[in-house]
Structure 1
């Protein structure tokens, strides 16, 4: 009897679980992810931890960009079941990246590679997890100020577009009586506009946001993603597939798709709504953006023939207002993942969001020069534009030194619009050039700024006060400042800049005069033991002599060479004389007339500068003092 009761109870419970799961599936298929996740979690509490329920829970949270919970449920699924759908594994990888678990993500990436060897997303991923950390850190050479806009509401706001001092965006702020979208329990999206003024100092001032000026653009369902022609007369936007009775149209599977519409400006209002001809009832078309010359329209679609879940396409806009055939932008842009929210800047740089290239998890913003003929891999913008969450709908309003623009992100919960002001971090290097002997300021010193590769970045001359200045030097780099003036030895200073913008670093230069009294004074020139050939380091010093003689074409010099006391007096006399004459010969080989060198004589150890004569114990340094050459000026 007890057994029959248990069996009956189990049957009733199983029946209840099946019905509950079926209800959850219905909400899921209709994008009611919040309600679906509630029902799936209740099923788990009642004992249903099937692959279907666990992966659906992961999908519910993934689709609403809740990475922590998505990773939790995907993790349960992939660790319990050995043959889950590969797409589940990829979304698990993305969720792990999103919450910063890069090592774990890469472990599962290797599993994904084994299953999906031909997946285009694999070739863009990196085995070195430090790359993800680099993307998550802001570019030290760039200062980017990012602020959430004051026009954001408590619901989703995204998709900025600036035209004639107005910012257009989509928002689910809704109003009393608005229909609610079951995906996230928010009102359906409508298009809004707000005036934007740039105040002194570059700060933006926003007016009050209100629905777009139109009687027909906003429906009871979704509208988003605006693009406006240069003349301001035509607006393209995305909308749910709504019929003339303001009712949703569905395909045979019960799914409603997105379409692109256009409106024209009539007496300040957007009217005359028309659907574009390349829309369809069985796939979505949306996220329009225009080329700078307005001759092409770029958009996103999941139509057949693409590379992945959604791809970016382009269509020609003909002079008569008709459209060409949509063309896929190709595998340089599109992957097996999601490519979305294209935007073409004034310089024809393509910005878009994707989860198919190397990313921090979920959607990241990328840029590409494909429209300029460059098919190299798109570049991830990195932090602070990208985070571990969905980052999308990039728009840049200027391409000058200070770049102003907008992007959208759900990094703080809901989709919000962020404004950014980006500019290079730079510093100033300045100093004074002086005579190292007299401390007098030196005018007309050529000062070169040289980067770490050896390239001369800039050259200036010191003024009458001996000062120089280099502005706009990159932050976080190493440069060398070199000062050169005839009759002086050059001086150089290495400068390492940090990440403090507008910092001023002092780098004074002290140039040693080569002409001192009746001599040309250089550093000691060295010879190998018992040798008199001119070594490279000696040649380097002797070039100072050559420079002075070239600067003063009537100057005549004489050369004296001396040794220390070690060795016999006779031998040292011969050795020093050979060294004096090899020094003379080198100078002559550099194009100096031999008549300008009156003599080159060696004096051996006959003119010691200290006590270190024969038999006196001295240090190496004391002996070195006696090994020297003099270059006397006998005629100016």
Structure 2
């Protein structure tokens, strides 16, 4: 094939026309980028720069935002016409996100903590580990909507949300620190919205949703053991309510064990 009309832009990008590479017409414009002593494989500039006709003689302004080409494509004023190009800045397809995981009390960085990165647009999840300096890094698609969660055994998790601007030119985003607070011995947690029918102790679907949160917590913290308590309202005698409370606590514990938690890690106390 014929390679002609070479043009070197800022000593780093070579443009030329060729009918020997796969293209849209007779002569198409290609570019090759210098990388050290080597040059990249020529890439076709495609439409609208190229057409089924002959396209050649490209020049680019010093700021890289405008240029001109010659072409004998249909619709011109003569046999070969000059066309003005407006070159839009191409944003990278991906962005690097990074951040630190720290102990909330001491503010020391935490190595080997686990960080989950959920893209809510497609429900894809990345699982990362922090490095020696407590830092995590991930490459994500530009315009993603993310939920980022840091966890470590024995600590409260911390989450942040990140809605990325699809038009932002930023190549890297530094997130706020994920601050994990350490659990304390004999710490009390109150579970909301766990209800039982009158004189019953079976687990209702709405209660199962709340107990599943306990299951997740125990799976994320395998070194923790839990004592689960339950209570009743004021109807009935003391002994009746005590027995019912014990049954409800045991029922909740049995449910949690059925979800894969070792029975030695959780006890009932009505």
TM-score (norm. length: structure 1): 0.30
Looking at secondary structure, tell me which structure has more helix per residue: 1
Alignment correspondent of 1:424: 92
Task: In structure 2, list runs of 5 or more residues that go unmatched.
Answer: 32-39, 57-66, 72-76
Q: Is the 8 A contact 2:17 2:55 kept in 1?
A: no
Which residue matches 2:250? 581
Q: Does the 8 Å contact 2:157/2:180 carry over to 1?
A: yes
Secondary structure in structure 2 of the residue aligned to 1:482 = strand
Q: In 2 relative to 1, CA 344–474 (structure 1 residues): closer, same or farther, beyond 3 Å?
A: same
Name the structure 2 match of 1:196: 8
What whole-Å deviation, never above 9, does each CA across 1:266-301 have from its counterpart, x for those lacking one? xxxxxxxxxxxxxxxxxxxxxxx3346xxxx9756x
Q: 1:478/1:432 Cα in 2 relative to 1: closer, same or farther (>3 Å)?
A: same
Partners of 2:55 and 2:252 lie apart in 1 by 67
**Structure 2 partner of 1:445:** 113
- In structure 2, the residue matched to 1:463 is 131
How far did residue 581 of structure 1 move? 0.4
Query: Paired residue for 1:536, among 193, 197, 208?
Result: 208
**For 2:96 and 2:252, how far apart are their aligned partners in 1?**
43
1:393/1:496 Cα in 2 relative to 1: closer, same or farther (>3 Å)? farther
1:367-406 map, 5 Å: none
Instruction: Write out aligned runs for 1:227-306 (5 A).
Output: 227=18, 289-291=19-21, 299=25
Report 1:301-380 matches (<5 A).
Answer: 365=48
Residue 453 of structure 1 and its aligned partner are, at CA, apart by 0.8
Q: 1-side partners of 2:85 and 2:149: how far apart?
A: 44
Residue 579 to residue 436, structure 1, CA distance change in 2 (3 Å): farther
Cα contact 1:479–1:496 (8 A) shared by 2: yes
- Does residue 526 of structure 1 match 2:198? no
Seen in structure 2, the aligned counterparts of structure 1 residues 392 and 444 have a Cα distance that, compared at 3 Å, is: farther
Equivalent positions of 1:71-86 (< 5 A) are none
Which of 464, 475, 487 is the aligned partner of 2:154? 487
- Render the CA deviation track for 1:76-112: whole Å, top value 9, x for unaligned: xxxxxxxxxxxxxxxxxxxxxxxxxxxxxxxxxxxxx
SS in 2 for 1:493: strand
Q: 2:142 corresponds to which residue? A: 475
Change (3 A) 1:391 1:298: closer
Q: Contact 1:351–1:394 at 8 Å: present in 2 too?
A: no
Mark the runs of 5 or more structure 1 residues left unpaired by the alignment: 1-161, 169-192, 207-224, 228-288, 301-340, 354-364, 366-384, 396-405, 603-636
RMSD: 4.6
Instruction: Tell me, in whole angstroms, the C-alpha distance in 1 between the residues paired with 2:173 and 2:191.
Output: 36
C-alpha distance in structure 1 between counterparts of 2:28 and 2:249, whole Å: 74
The 5 A counterparts of 1:46-61 are none
Secondary structure in structure 2 of the residue aligned to 1:488: coil
Question: Is it true that 1:547 corresponds to 2:215 in the alignment?
Answer: no
Distance (Å, rounded) in 2 between the aligned partners of 1:548 and 1:423: 38
- Asked if 2 retains the 8 angstrom alpha-carbon contact of 1:409 and 1:417, the reply is no
Decide whether the 8 Å contact of 1:290 with 1:298 is kept in 2. Answer: no
Alpha-carbon distance in structure 2 between the residues aligned to 1:536 and 1:581: 14
SS in 2 for 1:576: helix
**Which of 240, 259, 265 is 1:590 aligned to?**
259
SS of the residue corresponding to residue 254 of structure 2 reads helix
- List per-residue Cα deviations over 1:432-458 (Å, max 9, x = no partner): 2234466543221122333221112x4
Would the aligned equivalents of 1:352 and 1:392 in 2 still touch at CA under 8 Å? no
Q: Whole-Å Cα distance in 2 between the matches of residues 493 and 582 of structure 1?
A: 35
Q: Deviations over 1:580-605 (max 9, x none)?
A: 101221232234454554x4221xxx
Q: Secondary structure at the match of 2:249?
A: helix
Q: Which residue of 1 aligns with 2:62?
A: none
Q: 1:348 to 1:415 in 2, by over 3 A?
A: closer
- Measured in 2, the distance between the counterparts of 1:567 and 1:391 equals 86
- Conserved? CA contact 1:427–1:474, under 8 Å: yes
The alignment's TM-score, normalised by the length of structure 2, stands at 0.62
Quick one: structure 1 residues 197 and 524, their matched pair in 2 at CA, closer, same or farther if it must change by over 3 Å?
A: same
The higher-RCO structure (CA 8 Å, 6+ apart) is 2
1:560 aligns with 2:232: no
Distance between the aligned counterparts of 2:180 and 2:7, measured in 1? 59
C-alpha distance 556-449 of structure 1, shift in aligned 2 (>3 A) = closer
3-state SS of 2:162 partner: strand
Give distance in 2, aligned partners of 1:350 and 1:343.
6
CA contact (8 A) 2:100 2:109 kept: yes
Q: Which has the higher strand share?
A: 2
Q: Secondary structure at the match of 1:538?
A: helix
